[in-house]
Chains A and B, each alone.
Chain A
Amino acid sequence: EAGVVQSPRYKIIEKKQPVAFWCNPISGHNTLYWYLQNLGQGPELLIRYENEEAVDDSQLPKDRFSAERLKGVDSTLKIQPAELGDSAVYLCASSFRDPGELFFGEGSRLTVL
């Protein structure tokens, strides 16, 4: 069974540029999460989807971050414009049910110069 797939694995951009991350969850997992992980810290939830509905986006900085999951399967997280402080690993995860095991992707490491 394929796991959670994320791309790109690494991205280096200059500040004020836009960037987008893509995630394909495990087939059959209706719940999808985007987490932010700073170096040496635990993951922090940005947004949670149930199918195509964003049921918790309270931690998403909506002035520059946006996300979508149009058909309830794969998802895109966008940052525009990126700031130096956005440098981190962006983890996507999916689960079959809540509460339950989260299956994480390998993450997308963003470096903003």
Chain B
Amino acid sequence: GENVEQHPSTLSVQEGDSAVIKCTYSDSASNYFPWYKQELGKRPQLIIDIRSNVGEKKDQRIAVTLNKTAKHFSLHITETQPEDSAVYFCAALRGSSYKLIFGSGTRLLVRP
């Protein structure tokens, strides 16, 4: 089955700096890769996603890159702000099973 590994588990950056979170997946048939943000005590919310026919996707300060050959994808946040502080989860889905497997999460702290 699918396995998703996420690094780092914690990340502390200065406000204005960039943050990068990386995930690897094991199932080469996975074709959908969303990223969720979860603030303390809140529900996870989708912030960006990418499908396997695209190598990169950008939405304002957030971008995701996908390397299908190496089976890894990354979340890039530029010009970080204190409100970006949260736990970020990557996930991978195999289209045939529709089972979304989440990584273990990265706790991002943006220091003002």
In this assembly, does B65 line the interface, its C-beta being within 8 Å of a C-beta of chain A? no
Set of chain B residues within 8 Å of A55, measured between Cβ atoms:
98
Set of chain B residues within 8 Å of A91, measured between Cβ atoms:
43-44
Question: What DSSP secondary structure best describes chain A's contact surface?
Answer: loop
Interface size class on chain B is: 20 to 34
Q: B69-102 vs A: 1/0 string, CB under 8 Å?
A: 0000000000000000000010101010111111
Set of chain A residues within 8 Å of B36, measured between Cβ atoms:
102
Interface size class on chain A is: 10 to 19
In this assembly, does A43 line the interface, its C-beta being within 8 Å of a C-beta of chain B? yes
Q: Which of A1-42 contact B (CB under 8 A)?
A: 4, 40-42
Contact between A99 and B93, CB atoms less than 8 A apart = yes
Contact of B46 among A42, A44, A101, A107 (CB under 8 A): A101
Contact between A99 and B95, CB atoms less than 8 A apart = yes
Interface residues of B (CB under 8 A from A): 4, 6, 31-32, 34, 36, 42-46, 49, 89, 91, 93, 95, 97-105
